[in-house]
Chains A and B, each alone.
Chain A
């Protein structure tokens, strides 16, 4: 079953820069997809279009049955309630505790406290932060903060989890922990995960579907289980030999 259907999507900014050009792709429910590409390739724009932070200039972007291009500004919340978003810089509220940060999402949707509490505790437990519910973000490590952000993103059981370089600020071991959590979420609750990343090591280790975007164009759609050749690795191998 298709969750995302992008057809001939273009994104041209007001200054004339073409960030996305004629991009077409479909993503099924329950898939785990990496989006890779160099800085400025348009992968972030593509990710942003999926949660309607950017609107396609032309073409259609359909997420969970909602046409993002036709979605009015005041109705964006209808799309956002179906998905969760995780960022490189966590975007946690510094004055709220771990529990409050996760509950913040549900409180703003108007859910009753009796419903919020079990959901929040379940989400925090699933990212392994049960002991830190009362801590403030600045009392946590980078990896732990990212786990809080993941808990906040999945607390409302979204169909789609969008991750924009979630391991960008983390070391290799912590990145691996985060990836384990994301993989578990993907497998246990069949949540579709789309993750933009620079880290080809992660991509190669996980062996998932990979979309490669360069200069706004989808240059390859690598099937699950394949490797992505790391250009820098090739260079270093050459040097060693």
Chain B
């Protein structure tokens, strides 16, 4: 019962103290808000970059052109081989006739130009989807070994470097998130240090009248928690409404459908929860660290 009463009074005192030290509380809240907005931006960036990388990785293909005079047996042989290749996820065979009719459908000019030829001048082709970016090179090289394969191309080097760049960006944004969390902890801790400094007498009297260290720390820890929660309200609202708006305005992709954004729901709620947890925990730790100093003799 005693513990519950101390807990209840600590919560009451933490709220009283937030309102009595309003300007310092506002300073803490604003600090938290600004850093959490930056954390939110970094999180959105990080997740979207990762999403783009994953999409790109799924779109990785090797385009194989077969020799002009490839036979049906050879086509069946390569198809059977593709089925057994561990690096291959999927493939699409496209005969020269299919190419011709597709070109005809898409452009009348090219379609009529192709009609001039007696024999179809196009090549049979296979579009091979690989499982992993690292499988591209290996698959293409394996396919080139067939004597009836004219070429097997995958944008040599460029795809890998794009994905590498995205990986670096993703890693960078995660590092920024971690750095910002640490910065938030310091900012909250310092601001609370100011509020604690202004309440040194209160802590001193509490110690004098025989309040235990836990009973002294609790109101400050609740205060840090509450300041963290207040500080995360605006970043959460901005995340939910801001990101949803961005998604709706862009239609969910940037310039090409390959670069798609992460769908807002439930993504924004996960980010919001993360912001709330970071704000409150960092607030609590910040207060705890600051008050601890005053309890030493």
Q: Mark A69-83, 1 if CB is under 8 A from B, else 0.
A: 000011011111110
Main SS at interface, chain A: loop
Q: Mark A37-80, 1 if CB is under 8 A from B, else 0.
A: 00000000000000111110000000000000000011011111
| Residue numbers in A under 8 Å from B20 (CB-CB) | 95
Q: Is B105 an interface residue (CB 8 A)?
A: no
Say whether B209 contacts A73, CB under 8 Å. Answer: no
Q: Which of A53, A95, A105, A112 contacts B209 (CB 8 A)?
A: A105
> Closest chain A residue to B199 by CB distance?
A93
Q: Which of A51, A77, A105, A111 contacts B213 (CB 8 A)?
A: A77
Say whether A109 contacts B209, CB under 8 Å. Answer: yes
Say whether B297 contacts A53, CB under 8 Å. Answer: yes
- Bound together, the chains give a CA A226 to CA B278 distance in angstroms of 67
Say whether B201 contacts A77, CB under 8 Å. Answer: no
Say whether B297 contacts A73, CB under 8 Å. Answer: yes
Interface residue range, chain A: 20 to 34
Interface-forming stretch among B3-11, B71-79, B90-98?
A: B3-11
| Residue numbers in A under 8 Å from B207 (CB-CB) | 76-77, 80
Say whether B296 contacts A80, CB under 8 Å. Answer: no
Q: Which of A74, A104, A110, A152 contacts B6 (CB 8 A)?
A: A110
> Closest chain A residue to B8 by CB distance?
A110
> Closest chain B residue to A89 by CB distance?
B201
Question: Which residue, A78, A82, A104, has most C-beta atoms of chain B within 10 A?
Answer: A104
Among A84-113, those with CB < 8 Å from B are 85, 91, 93, 95, 104-105, 107-112
- Bound together, the chains give a CA A31 to CA B210 distance in angstroms of 23
Q: Which of B9, B208, B295, B297 contacts A80 (CB 8 A)?
A: B208
Say whether A108 contacts B211, CB under 8 Å. Answer: yes
- Bound together, the chains give a CA A156 to CA B1 distance in angstroms of 19
Say whether A108 contacts B3, CB under 8 Å. Answer: no
Q: Mark B216-233, 1 if CB is under 8 A from A, else 0.
A: 100000000000000000
Say whether B297 contacts A77, CB under 8 Å. Answer: no
B60 to chain A, nearest CB (A): 61
Q: Which of B202, B210, B211, B295 contacts A73 (CB 8 A)?
A: B295
Say whether A77 contacts B212, CB under 8 Å. Answer: yes
- Bound together, the chains give a CA A93 to CA B1 distance in angstroms of 27
| Residue numbers in A under 8 Å from B212 (CB-CB) | 74, 77
Say whether A108 contacts B206, CB under 8 Å. Answer: yes
Question: Which residue, B20, B202, B210, B215, has most C-beta atoms of chain A within 10 A?
Answer: B210
Say whether B204 contacts A80, CB under 8 Å. Answer: no
- Bound together, the chains give a CA A172 to CA B273 distance in angstroms of 64
17 pairs across A/B with beta carbons < 8 Å?
A51-B208, A54-B297, A73-B295, A77-B211, A77-B213, A80-B208, A80-B210, A81-B210, A82-B210, A85-B208, A91-B204, A107-B9, A109-B215, A110-B215, A112-B1, A112-B5, A156-B209
Instruction: Name 7 extra pairs, CB < 8 A, besides A53-B297, A111-B2.
Output: A76-B207, A80-B209, A104-B209, A105-B210, A108-B206, A109-B210, A110-B6
Binding site for B on A (CB under 8 A): 51-55, 73-74, 76-82, 85, 91, 93, 95, 104-105, 107-112, 152, 156
The list of the 9 closest CB pairs from A to B, nearest first, reads: A81-B210, A108-B211, A80-B210, A105-B209, A110-B2, A110-B6, A77-B212, A77-B210, A110-B5
